[in-house]
Chain A
Amino acid sequence: MTVTETHCPYCALQCGIALTPEIPRVRLEPTEFPVNRGGLCAKGWTAAELLDHSDRLLTPLVRKDPADRTSPLREATWDEAYERIVTAIRRSRQEYGPDSVGAFGGGGLTNEKAYTLGKFVRVALGSASIDYNGRFCMSSAATAGNRSLGVDRGLPFPLEDLAGAKTVLLVGANPADAMPPSMQYLDAGRAEGARHIVVDPRRTATAAGAYRHLQPLPGTDLALANGLLHIAVREGLLDEQYIRDRTTGFDAVRAAVASYWPERVERMTGVSEADLRETVRLLATERPSMILTARGAEQHSNGTDTAQAYLNLALALGLVGRPNSGYGTITGQGNGQGGREHGQKADQLPGYRRLDDPAARAHVAAVWGIDPDELPRPGVSAYEMLDRLGTDGGVRVLLVLASNMAVSAPHAGHVIDRLRALDLLVVSDIFLSETAALADVVLPTAQFAEEEGTMTNLEGRVIRRRMALPPPPDVRTDLQFLAGLADRLGRGKFFSDDPRTVFDELRRASAGGIADYSGITYERIEAEQGVFWPCPAEDHPGTPRLFTDTFPTPDGRARFIRVEHRDPHEMPDREYPYVLTTGRNMQQYQSGNQTRRVAALTVSLPEPRVELHPDLGRRLGVADSDMVELRTRRGKAQFRARFNPGIRPDTVFAPFHWGGDQAVNLLTDPALDRHSKMPAFKACAVAICPAPHQEGTT
């Protein structure tokens, strides 16, 4: 009985787990890994059920009639699947050019796979068309971090530092539901008298346990931050020395926040003047203090600026780079951090290099053994790519790895239409997801416990994913799939399907970049319980804490950037009088493709429920548990109501883990942030009424 220590397949915590193959099922137990320290959430405890699930894809599938996507999927050999893919790629390149073949990746891929996918598109396909679902997740905070701090590492400190902070401002973050084992650090702080202030339109489990819960109108988080900074300026709470010594650009920010006086911000946000004052005073005086943002603040059409506003506040109070202090963003997906560093992004090369930087192109091309001029230019962002599928100049043949955009993309109905317009859709997954069900070719891929590789968790800690058992016979890893496809396209010599070989190449490609992995080896990761990047040499200890002395900007200083409140792209009006926001349930993960198949999780939460205030329910004439219809300019969907007296009466919340008719993203607004191209998932205008069929029966 061999015990394999590896990590949970789900969120960015990457809790340590130990897997023991047993009959009838692999035994899964938490380990004392420094992230979870023996804790595990319901999703993690039941993750082994995915391995032998009866829905598991065990062979490639293709359409019975290759020309008819409505014909049923049938089992096929890998050769047959490859044949269809290669034929379509060749034809598309010939007719529409190399950019007509593209790939869409995911934040769940290992570093090795994310790296290989980026390289595959540029080197094997010669295409600019690649982006990934992290664009819907971390892009706003990432953009803000890069602009302001010179680097995007979600938490610039280990999770354990949270326990030592006396004041923590959590903006649009709900770790109690989204990543429960992380709460032990916040709870430890609370036990020591730390005060946590949670900003959320909904009284989440995180908010309920906090010292204060601020409930702003969705889309006003930026105004809130500027309002806090306004008070800090007025009350002399700034760290002037820090601003002088370690930053640039504060004057413009000071001028900007002058027009965010407390009475105005109270009216814009709904957060009382007293709460505003107390919050900023605690942050400034009850130190160490931290500001953490998550998707609630970032998934807006002004998400980058909103993250920046909180960064401005953290810098002005002198928090960044001090012990148990600073600004961080809580990454969501399992490899959301590593996945955004090594070339899955439309404009990016490994090591967080920029595709439009000649030096970066030269370095990476040298590692890859190609001419820098062979590298394509930057492509378009995720939603922009999806929006143009099958159109002139758009992608015609799309490879999808570790993503389920039929559920997770905004304006999902439109995205499904675009997917249908493709000449060929190839989806690699472990189950037949909503997106895979639309595909021409479906490829069965190995699961977390069946492969080797590395992940980079929300702390920037590079960790090892280890194989506890081999994949089923006809199931391949994505590395094998991509190497095989490259081979058939005549580019096989550039690719390996061995994770360690790929990682060593990734180390060279990232060397000298912002996210420098060159000093990290599989052996070190195992010996040191993970290594924090940047780690530029094998004798370099890694960097658990960034910014202690300097910032990785050209002048070594952090940059303040002036940001202004803007109304959400879509404001409530007569026709759509309420605000719809979306988020997570504790029992489900992402598009639910995995967790919806786990019985224990589905039993405790069988369907999505829209949360609304009882007062709103009374106005609408619906009772708790009635079906209601939500309608936006993009579509409509029906959900069972859950009355929640802890949500704003002008706001409704729906989880995004379900597909089909109950995909809340049928309703969401694809308006994009102008910097990060993040869609406005967290605020759009909605109309609500009792579900029509119910009216007939009562």
Chain B
Amino acid sequence: MQSTQRLVVIGNGMAGARTVEEILARGGDFTITMFGDEPYGNYNRIMLSNLLAGVEDEAGIFLNDLSWYADNGITLHVGTRIEKIDRTHKVVIATDGTRTPYDKLIIATGSSSWTPPIKGIHNPKRGFHQGVFAFRTLDDTRGMIRYARDHERAVVIGGGLLGLEAARGLQNHVSHVTLLHAMGHLMNMQLDERAGAMLKASVEGKLGVDVIVDAMTTEILGKDRVTGVKLADGTVIDCDVVVVAAGIRPNTQVAADSGLTVERGIVVDDQMRADGEDDIYVVGECAQHRGELYGLVAPLWDQAKVLADHVTGRNAAAAYTGSKLSTKLKVAGIDVAAMGLKEPETDADEVIVYSEPRKGIYKQVIIRDGLLVGATLVGDNRKAAALIQAFDQGQALPEERAEMLFDIGGPAGEVKPEDMPDDAQVCNCNGVSKGAICGVVNAGCKTVNGVMDKTRAGKGCGTCKPLVQRIVEWAAGGEVEEDPAASWYVPGVPMPKPELMAAIRQYGLRSVSSVFAKLVPGGEEDAKSKMGLASLLKMMWGEDYVDERDSRFINDRVHANIQRDGTFSVVPQMKGGVTTPAQLRRIAEVAEKYAVPMVKLTGGQRIDLLGIPKETLPKIWADLDMPSGYAYAKSFRTVKTCVGSDYCRFGVGDSTALGIALEERFQGIEGPGKMKLAVTGCPRNCAEAYVKDLGVVAIDGGRWEIYVGGAAGAHIRKGDLLATVDSADEVITLTGRFLQYYRENANWLERTYAFVPRLGIDRVRAVVVDDSDGIAAELDAAMDASVGAYRDPWKERAEPVTPGQFRTSLPLVVLPQVPVRVSGGVA
């Protein structure tokens, strides 16, 4: 098209390609030709240090791959260098002689790594000496990585941002890195002396890089390849890789050769046009704007926007007026952020400094006329994001200047009702104040739910419920009435346990479904309540309980313990932990016959057969022909015993016999939680009776102590002494009475270690031992009934209660088999 202008871009780096993107985004109507030195699309140069450090791969650093140029109709000449601009004829001339005409020209030649004058750094044949690298391009980086792979010691010349990142990256490839910096402190462009010193300590201490400052490198040693470097003071550092990161110099040769104004860079105006030129723009590191050169991406991209606005005519008034500078060091573990001034410039500048050398933390902010004009963070970057916004946006600054350096305050703690004014809004949704809540409480409503219903507090989003509760508690002065639901035995039946039991008796409810039907308004069944109800009914009705299988947990339904992989474990009863050769032989035979993957002694002195598929359970039980050890249910589990007085030198009571008697009597009794017992023959407590739900300890004189409410699981508690009695019979009686009292009064899943402290041992003792409530006889009778109702659940195997009871319904995944460890030689 006639109207389409020819746009030529010299340079295909981050500035040139970005500028073209901005032009395309503005719908600029150009035929675009780009010349790039490097044989690639545009990549993200600042990610080269990540590439060197191995945290980024090459694919990840490309911003524009070659297809992007094609997709946007851009002719890209890679590896082609422009030698001269013929401004008169508006043509650029490449080194190979080709001439490309332009209507608008953009120079984005960037800059090159600067090489300090060091003896031996160059090799006339191959540019750098063997083993010396610049750190500027993808090829540099690739070469460095390749070479460093089989070399050991590296020296980096230059302690600025790039040098530090190079040093860190090289640590990935060589065993030792030394950083040489010609100036007095690291990152001297961005940091003051103290910050630089702090950084040096961190780089040495945390990264293990040797840092030498004031180190003027004078010579590269080594004939065919690098073997070391020599400093001005004569120091020689052995090394086989040298990386030069001593700064950059703008590429201005083509501009200078073509007659453009070049000082340190190519001089541009606020529209990014070369000095005095209408059709030649300059962008990026090669441009000198108002005396400044920029070497960071953000300013380059700011320039690109202005250039694009202007060259496309989108905004002829667009002007670049300079950029605020900020940098962050990309070195893991070493936090450095710096922006604006590194030091105050006038006496009026306000400086706030925090320094903690032991931790390598240094923070400084510089304020002028209420604006943040400089900030430095070393060792702790957490405020970097906030400071950079304050710096860039010119935000108003806090009166407490320390807030700029630290996160102060944090979220307020829990509000205390007494500290709140009466008109403080508690429920935002419904605009309910503390005063309104207190008014309702004072008027007599003392349940949390009741207050919520009356005031609507907490009835919107509900977020304020905890606060409403605290206020109600405070306002009621300790007379807060419990939310009735909190006292319900199970969540699905609105009754506390005693009332529930009374109602069950009154109506003769013998099944879980009948309880729901009779006692729940609407009769709705609640799955979460079924197990608790089943347990309670079984306790109350004994053999008259009508069992409904779906009210049970899988463990109870198949009388085995489900394992992580969906198989089950089987634990035969072994009363008091005492067994016989015949029993052991039978277990061994069964284990072999069914190739039981693992046979293990349990903590309750029994033998556990693990890894049984569900459908094998009945056969195993048939072959074992032994009662269940109840290792699965919310029920009486086991009585652990020591060897007692028959064999033990210390034993003072026959703990084994008593343990067997207890287990004989209470086997299979269900309850709100597990009941684990122990009997130990002396206070040495070998059977751990002090930490059981009920533990019996023989003491001198043939007497027994009974402890209740102990635990040694996730929760550890020593039991409380319930009573000291004179005979084993008394132990059995009190055990039965205590267990029954627990069964009737504990909430579902409430273990004795919670139950006993809830009521207090004094109260428990009063009821169980002293019969303060006159219910001892009732408790004993109820327990007798339960004992009488006991059926060995393993007898179900012959006639499954439901057809699917023992069929596998869970996916069986194979667990790694633990080999059965053969004892012998084990201490």
Q: Are B461 and A259 in contact (CB under 8 A)?
A: no
Q: Which among B44, B47, B456 has the greatest number of chain A C-beta atoms within 10 A?
A: B456
Residues of A within 8 A of B460 (CB): 39-42, 180-181, 183
Contact of A255 among B63, B297, B399, B461 (CB under 8 A): B63
User: Is A626 interfacial (CB-CB < 8 Å)?
Assistant: no
Q: Is the CB of A650 within 8 A of B394?
A: yes
CB-defined contacts of B394 to chain A, threshold 8 Å: 577, 650
* Chain B residues within an 8 Å CB radius of A271: 385
Q: Which of B18, B297, B389, B428 is close to A205, meaning CB atoms less than 8 Å apart? A: B428
Which among B55, B60, B393, B456 has the highest number of chain A CB atoms within 10 Å? B393
Find out whether the CB atom of B388 lies under 8 angstroms from the CB atom of A649.
no
> A234 to chain B: which residues have CB within 8 Å?
55-56, 60
Q: Is B64 in contact with A255, judged by CB distance below 8 angstroms?
A: yes
Task: Say whether, besides A39-B461, A180-B461, A618 and B428 are in contact (CB < 8 Å).
Answer: no
Known: A264-B297, A274-B382, A650-B389. A613 touches B429 (CB 8 A): no
Residues of A within 8 A of B25 (CB): 564
Shortest CB-to-CB span from B467 to chain A, Å, is 12
Taking the complex as formed, is B326 at the interface, i.e. its CB lies under 8 A from any CB of chain A? yes
CB contacts under 8 Å to A, within B1-36, are 18, 25
Q: List B contacts of A45 (CB < 8 A).
A: 430, 456
Smallest Cβ-Cβ distance to A216: which chain B residue: B389
Q: Is the CB of B44 within 8 A of A258?
A: yes
Docked pose: A109 CA to B659 CA in angstroms = 77
A233 to B47, CA, bound (A): 14
> Counting CB contacts under 8 A, is A586 at the interface?
yes
A266 touching B68, Cβ below 8 Å: no
Q: How far is the CA of A572 from the CA of B60 in the complex (A)?
A: 34
- By a CB distance below 8 angstroms, the chain A residues around B47 are 261
- B459 in complex: contacting residue of A40, A267, A604, A649, CB < 8 Å: A40
Q: Contact flags (1/0) for B270-308 with A, using CB distance below 8 Å?
A: 000000000000000000000000000110000000000
Taking the complex as formed, is A182 at the interface, i.e. its CB lies under 8 A from any CB of chain B? yes
How many residues on chain A are close to B (CB under 8 Å)? 51
Which residues 605-629 of A sit at the B interface, judged by CB distance below 8 A?
613, 615-616, 618-619
Query: Are B431's CB and A258's CB within 8 A?
Result: no
A183 to B44, CA, bound (A): 43
Q: Which residues of chain A have C-beta atoms less than 8 A from B18's C-beta?
A: 259
Partner of A266, one of B62, B330, B384, B396: B384
CB within 8 A of A233: which of B60, B297, B389, B430? B60
Q: Is B392 an interface residue (CB 8 A)?
A: yes
Do A259 and B63 touch across chains, with their CB atoms under 8 A apart? yes
Query: Which parts of B55-112 form the interface with A (CB within 8 Å)?
Result: 55-56, 60-65, 68
Cβ distance A114 to chain B, nearest Cβ, rounded Å? 28
Residues of A within 8 A of B459 (CB): 30, 38-40
Question: In the complex, which residues of chain A have a beta carbon less than 8 angstroms from the beta carbon of B393?
Answer: 217, 572, 650
Interface residues of B in 386-431 (CB under 8 A from A): 386, 388-390, 392-399, 425, 428-431
In the bound complex, do residue B392 and residue A600 qualify as a contact, i.e. CB atoms below 8 Å apart?
Answer: no
Residues in B with CB closer than 8 Å to A39 are: 429, 459-462
**Do A615 and B398 contact each other (CB < 8 Å), given the known contacts A217-B389, A234-B56, A572-B393?**
yes
Task: Please tell me if the beta carbons of A255 and B65 are within 8 angstroms of each other in the complex.
Answer: yes
Chain A neighbourhood of B68, CB < 8 A:
255
A263 at the interface (CB under 8 A from B): yes
A452 within 8 A of B: no
Q: Which residues of B contact A649 (CB under 8 A)?
A: 390, 395-397
Interface residues of A in 176-195 (CB under 8 A from B): 176-177, 180-184, 187
Q: Kindly identify, within residues 356 to 400 of chain B, every residue whose CB is under 8 Å from any CB belonging to chain A.
A: 370, 381-382, 384-386, 388-390, 392-399
Q: A180-B461, A270-B386, A586-B428 are in contact. Are A650 and B395 (CB under 8 A)?
A: yes
Is B463 in the interface zone, CB < 8 Å from A?
yes
Instruction: Please determine whether A270 and B461 come into contact, CB atoms closer than 8 angstroms.
Output: no
Verify A183–B396 contact, CB threshold 8 A.
no
Please, what's the 1-or-0 string for B143-157, where 1 marks a CB less than 8 Å from any CB in chain A?
A: 000000000000000
Contact with B392, one of A30, A38, A267 (Cβ below 8 angstroms): A267
Q: Is the CB of B461 within 8 A of A615?
A: no
Q: Say whether, besides A217-B393, A255-B65, A615-B396, A272 and B463 are in contact (CB < 8 Å).
A: no
- Which residues 543-572 in A have Cβ within 8 Å of B in the complex? 564, 572
Q: How far is A397 from B463 in the complex, measured between Cα atoms in Å?
A: 48
What is the CB-to-nearest-CB distance from A276 to chain B, in angstroms, rounded to a whole number? 9
B454 to chain A minimum Cβ distance, whole angstroms, is 13
Q: Is A648 an interface residue (CB 8 A)?
A: yes
Contact with B along A628-672 (1 / 0, CB 8 A): 000000000000000000001110000000000000000000000
Q: How far is the CA of A263 from the CA of B460 in the complex (A)?
A: 41
**Residue of A with least CB distance to B395:** A649
Shortest CB-to-CB span from A200 to chain B, Å, is 15
Is A587 positioned at the interface, with any CB of B under 8 Å from its CB?
A: yes
Min distance, Cβ B402 to any Cβ of chain A, angstroms? 13
**Are the CB atoms of B385 and A187 closer together than 8 Å?**
no
CB atoms of B389 and A270 under 8 A apart: yes
B514 CB → nearest A CB, Å: 27
CB of B396 within 8 A of CB of A42, answer: no
User: Are A176 and B461 closer than 8 Å at their CB atoms?
Assistant: yes
Cβ contacts under 8 Å, A600 to chain B: 431
Chain A, Cβ-Cβ closest to B47: A261
- A181 and B44 CA atoms in complex are apart in Å by 47
B44 and A259 form a contact (CB under 8 A): yes
CB-contact partner of A615 in B64, B382, B385, B399, under 8 A: B399
Residues in B with CB closer than 8 Å to A177 are: 428
Contact with B431, one of A205, A259, A272, A587 (Cβ below 8 angstroms): A587
Contacts of B463 in A (CB 8 A): 176, 183, 187, 205, 209
Q: Contact between B370 and A619 (Cβ–Cβ < 8 Å)?
A: yes
Report whether A272 and B382 are in contact in the complex, using a CB–CB cutoff of 8 Å.
yes
B412 to chain A: closest residue by CB: A208
- In the assembled complex, how far is the CB of residue A506 from the closest CB belonging to chain B, in whole angstroms? 33
Q: Does B328 contact A (CB under 8 A)?
A: yes
Distance (whole angstroms) from the CB of B460 to the closest CB of chain A: 4
Which listed residue (A258, A270, A586, A618) contacts B385, Cβ 8 A? A270
Chain B's nearest CB lies how many Å from the CB of A210? 11
Q: Mark A230-253, 1 if CB is under 8 A from B, else 0.
A: 000110000000000000000000
CA distance A267 to B398 in the complex (A): 20
CA gap between A233 and B428 in the complex, in Å: 41
List chain A residues, Cβ under 8 A from B397: 615, 649
Most chain A CB inside 10 Å of its own CB: which residue of B65, B381, B428: B428
A326 to chain B, nearest CB (A): 22
Partner of B428 from A180, A258, A267, A613 at Cβ < 8 Å: A180
Q: How far does the alpha carbon of A176 sit from the alpha carbon of B460 in the complex, in Å?
A: 9
A434 within 8 A of B: no
Say whether A273 faces chain B, with CB atoms less than 8 Å apart. yes
CA of A176 to CA of B464, assembled, Å: 11
Chain A contacts of B298 at CB under 8 A? 264, 267
Q: Which residues of B contact A275 (CB under 8 A)?
A: 385
Bound complex: CA of A30 vs CA of B429, how far in Å? 14
A61 vs B339: C-alpha distance when bound (angstroms):
64
Nearest chain A CB to B297's CB is how many angstroms away?
7
Flag if A618 contacts B60 (CB, 8 Å): no
Q: List 24 A-B contacts (CB under 8 A).
A: A38-B459, A42-B430, A175-B461, A183-B460, A209-B463, A233-B60, A234-B56, A255-B63, A259-B18, A259-B44, A259-B63, A261-B46, A261-B47, A263-B328, A266-B328, A272-B381, A272-B386, A273-B385, A274-B382, A615-B396, A615-B397, A615-B399, A650-B394, A650-B396
Nearest 5 A/B pairs, CB to CB: A183-B461, A272-B385, A270-B389, A180-B429, A180-B461
Known: A267-B326, A613-B396; 13 extra A-B contacts, CB below 8 A, are A45-B430, A180-B429, A181-B461, A183-B462, A183-B463, A187-B462, A205-B463, A209-B463, A255-B62, A258-B62, A263-B330, A273-B385, A600-B431
List B residues at the A interface (Cβ < 8 Å). 18, 25, 44, 46-47, 55-56, 60-65, 68, 297-298, 326, 328, 330, 370, 381-382, 384-386, 388-390, 392-399, 425, 428-431, 456, 459-463
